[in-house]
Amino acid sequence: MLQPKNHSQFHSDVAQNANCVVMVPPKEFKFNAETAQDNEFQNQSSLSDDQITQSVMSEFNEMVAKLRQEGVQVVVFDYELGNVATPDAVFPNNWFSTTEDGTFYTFPMACTNRQFEVRPDELIQQLSLAGRMVTQQDSLVAYQEQNAYLESTGVMVIDHINRTIYAALSQRCDREVLEDYAQRIGYERVVSFQTSLPSGHPIYHTNVMMAIGENFCVICDEVIPEYERRFVVKSLAKDKQVISISLDQMNRFCGNILQLETVNGDKVIAMSQSAYDAFSPTQRNQLSSHGKLLPFNVETIENIGGGSVRCMLGEVFLPARTHTL
């Protein structure tokens, strides 16, 4: 395992937005009973397995095509099937992350069947073919032996410009692993907090309740206890336009959005059609000032998988050899 990097290795002009993403086809997609134990966004379906597969593959392919049409580089990681099914492979942002210096990180996943999604060698090969260079690897997967987990940008919503990581603590977000990762990437500030849903349980992933763009953030702050809420919102409001969403809007995945850049540097904001429809006209106007809104119909993936558009996008900050789409 590599030693944590020294802060001096990093540059101040860190990009907030990626112009390249990894997407994984949902060819084994179905209701995951293991993750449903703490993911209240998942729902059983009356559709047959074949109907589900046909629907989610259509949603996936349309999203890939539209992102590419807008000028976002999409690396489709079509992995080989293994002995253990990976029904949530369509949400790759939970097991890896990348940094601008060319480092590829892998993370400890809380659910056993999701641990089989972690295929760094195969993905790095695909990234290389797409012109994205990995110069070194680092892994926090060993924490799984301690039953300590950190599901990457599912549980960490990162303000790269201010080197700050926001994270809702839960079974899938261990404070010790969180602090370790922050040290490794040279980000001195971690804002961790508790959350509580009406059920009394915490949010399973931070990225369903908040998103951070270059100059804005979306947050369902009502799920944060009042004694922590003010601090979190004040921290965000220092240099971001804060767009507060309700619990109902969060349940329709308004927090699960992602600002990206095209290869030409234009800003776009990816979200589901459900989220787009749930934002008020005022909120849509606010968001539109930060980039073109790109709504995608991923209704089946959302309802059964309990994750939305942002969860489907693994950001790639690796240096580019070419601009291959």
Starting from the edge strand earliest in sequence, which strands make up the sheet with 258-261, in order? 258-261, 267-272, 292-296
10-residue mean pLDDT profile of the chain (325 residues): values are 39 81 86 49 60 84 97 93 80 95 96 87 96 96 96 97 96 95 96 93 92 98 96 97 97 96 95 97 98 95 85 95 54
Question: Which amino acid type is present at position 121?
Answer: D
Report H helices in the chain: 49-70, 112-115, 120-129, 152-155, 175-185, 226-237, 247-251, 273-278, 281-288, 299-305
* Structure token digits, residue 260: 């990206």
User: How far is residue 55 from each of residues 61, 92, 168, 203, measured CA to CA in Å?
Assistant: 10, 19, 32, 27
pLDDT at position 303 is 78
pLDDT at position 178 is 98
pLDDT at position 301 is 86
User: How far is residue 21 from each of residues 97, 140, 246, measured CA to CA in Å?
Assistant: 11, 22, 28
List the chain domain ranges.
7-315
* Number of C-beta neighbours around residue 280 at 10 A: 13
Domain covering 7-315 in this structure, CATH number:
3.75.10.10
Helix (H, G, I), strand (E, B) or coil at 313: coil
Starting from the edge strand earliest in sequence, which strands make up the sheet with 96-98, in order? 96-98, 103-106, 136-139
pLDDT at position 195 is 96
pLDDT at position 48 is 66
* Structure token digits, residue 140: 């926090």
pLDDT at position 97 is 97
Pairing of the two strands 73-76 and 241-244: unpaired
Whole-model pTM: value is 0.90
Alpha carbons 165 and 298: distance in angstroms, whole number: 28
Q: Where are the beta strands (DSSP E) in the chain?
A: 20-23, 73-76, 96-98, 103-106, 136-139, 156-159, 164-168, 189-193, 210-212, 216-219, 241-244, 258-261, 267-272, 292-296, 314-315
Specify whether the CB–CB gap between 150 and 185 falls below 8 A.
no
Question: Which amino acid type is present at position 235?
Answer: S
